[in-house]
Amino acid sequence: MDIIIPTWNNSDLTIQCLLALKKGTEPGYRIIWIDNGSEPKHRTMVQDWMTFQRQPFMPIFFDENLGFSKAINRGLAMALMAQGPEIILLNNDVQVTPGWLEKFTSYAEAHPKIGILGCLTNSGAVQSYKRYWGPRPNPEKFINGLDPLATRITGGCVPFSCVLLKRAMIDQVGLLDEDFSPCLGEDDDYCDRARLGGWRTEILLSLFVYHDHRRTVELLPNWQALQADHRNLLLKKMAARRKPK
């Protein structure tokens, strides 16, 4: 199993992410680490940590920040060279919980038409556990203890902070649209393309991870204006895909 982790500075978050990954995941996975032009001190800290922990990883270093979609596409190109049926995208501001990967893969493999599968988190909107289960004193214990068949088919976006992608779906739909560089909107766009291709996009309501939302995005000085611009771009692309041919 390949897990693609893009980074841009924030080495403290990345190491927390990697530590949770190590604690909560059975051996046998490989990290594809895409560093998007981080400052040398951040890159060195992460590389030294993985080397010390003897964590299998494949590094790809960009000289500058090329954005989320370009980083993910580079990682997907590497992951697709392997034979695994699924690929995980994991932001470095996410901390997974024990058993997360087994729950992800077992559900995805039991439902062949799922192309994109997300999970619940403690933040955001679409993935917020409170939207589905209401306030809970210990959401991790409650949600991860639920029947794994508890799901919701989404009509909108499955955010790509922690998501499983089917290889067969990627082969059909292709890679992320790099028009959305540096970030924001590429996951909405990709989910729309996947659904038009006949794939289901779902959120697993019985899987919870922690997400320190937008810690990297908010490093961009113009991220709110960028979000608005990319929303308009998304609407144009969605309309164009639905025009009669």
- Model confidence over 180-210: pLDDT tens digits? 988 888 999 999 999 999 999 999 999 999 9
| 141 exposure class (CB count in 10 Å sphere: 0-12, 13-18, 19+) | exposed
Q: E strands within 41-134?
A: 57-62, 86-90, 94-95, 114-120
149: confidence class by pLDDT, cuts 50, 70, 90: confident
Q: E strands within the chain?
A: 2-7, 30-36, 57-62, 86-90, 94-95, 114-120, 151-153, 162-166, 200-208, 210-211
Tokens for 60, please give them. 């790809």
148: confidence class by pLDDT, cuts 50, 70, 90: confident
Q: Is residue 213 over pLDDT 80?
A: no
Model confidence pLDDT, tens digit, residues 65-117: 999 999 999 999 999 998 889 999 999 999 999 999 999 999 999 999 999 99
15: confidence class by pLDDT, cuts 50, 70, 90: very high
The answer to whether residues 140 and 194 touch, using CB atoms and an 8 Å cutoff, is: no
Helix, strand or coil, per DSSP, at residue 210:
strand
Tokens for 227, please give them. 């979000």
- Please report, for residues 2, 200, 221, the alpha-carbon distance to residue 175 in angstroms, rounded to integers and kept in the order given: 16, 17, 27
| Full-model pTM | 0.94
- Please report, for residues 3, 98, 105, the alpha-carbon distance to residue 21 in angstroms, rounded to integers and kept in the order given: 10, 8, 15
Residue bearing tokens 């897990």: 3
Average pLDDT over residues 169-173: 97
Instruction: Report which of 87, 128, 107 is spatially closest to residue 202, judged by C-alpha positions.
Output: 107
